[in-house]
Structure formats: structure tokens, C-alpha cells
Amino acid sequence: MKLLKNAFKVTLASGVLFALTSCQSQNRNKEFHIITDHQILPPVMETVPVIEYSGIGIKYECENMFLHNCAVLQDSVASGKFCVRLIEDSSSATMKVKFPAGTYECLVKEKASDKNHSAFYISLDGIATRVYPRNPPSGKWELTTRVPVYFTLEESRTLTINITPHSDYEIGSTGM
């Protein structure tokens, strides 16, 4: 197996959980900044966040991405104590990352309870890859190591990373 110079991990939470909060458009209003079970919701991103890759890896929580038609849910076993549910066909979580030249591996951490609500897409500058957990899903947090996304950049550049339930060519899942 080819050794990679860098690792890039994006965390996406999915699974059947009750919705404590949701966003109906790109901008959730202030009523969503509430305390639930002594937890303060993550800040609402009003623009697509841009971060710079440095070091050996990035771990970025979806609840900190720019969300459109998503639910932000509490999950006590999630690394950030919250997760994101893609609730509609138009749901998305978006961020940008400035990468130096190199070869990268992208893994998504997912919690799927059943195989009917587990497949979704991660797009890097519009190139979509279908990701899904083991079959049958474990119902616990797991990296989607069955479907790592590898990419190589010949020069430094900023990539738009978009997580959606569907691609332009194939249907994925909502409600996870």
C-alpha cells in the first residue's frame, strides 16, 4: 500500500437521532443558540469557513461547516458532542481548505444505524465520491475506511469540500 504524506479527516455524523435543532436555510437565526442538556450549540457559520492545512492532519467537525438544510443534533459520544443530519435532498455542509502540494487521504466519520440511511457524497471541487460505512452498519461511530478518498495536488490550492446526500449522477440518503 502506498504511504501517504498527509492525512485529511472530515467528521460527518449521521444516524437516527431526535432533532433538537435544525436549520431551514443557510443562516439559522439566533433562536438556535440555546442550551440543551447543559451544552451550548456550536456557532452558526454565516459564510463558508476557510482553514489552512498544516501538520499531519485535520479533523474538522461538520457542525462547524456552513450548513444548508441540516439538523444539528446533540450526541454525547460524538467527538464534538454534536453531529449533523442531512435532512433534505438539498442538504449540504461546506468548507474550504488551503492545501500545499501533496497526496492526501480523506476519511469521513459516520454513525449509521441501517444500510438504507448511510450512503452520502463528499465532493472535492465538484468531484463527488460516494462514502458509506461497513455493511451492515455498526450503529457506532466509524471512519468510512471502506471508501477512502485519495487525491494529489501538484501545487498549492484551496479546495471546496462539500458533503451532500446525493451527487449529480446518483442518489444517496437523507435522514441519516
Query: What digits encode the pLDDT tens for the residues 114-127?
Result: 777 788 999 999 99
Most confident of 26-35, 37-46, 55-64: 55-64
**Lookup result for grid cell 500545499:** 100
Instruction: Output the nine-digit C-alpha cell for 90.
Output: 438539498
Q: The domain at 8-23+40-164 falls in which architecture?
A: Sandwich (2.60)
The answer to whether 122 touches 84, Cβ cutoff 8 Å, is: no
> pLDDT for 126-168, tens place per residue?
999 998 887 777 888 888 788 899 999 999 999 999 999 999 9
Domain spans of the chain? 8-23+40-164
For the chain, the average pLDDT equals 77
Residue 72 in 3-state DSSP? strand
Q: What is the pTM of this model?
A: 0.76
Q: Which long-range contacts (CB under 8 A, 24 or more apart) does 30-34 make?
A: 32/72
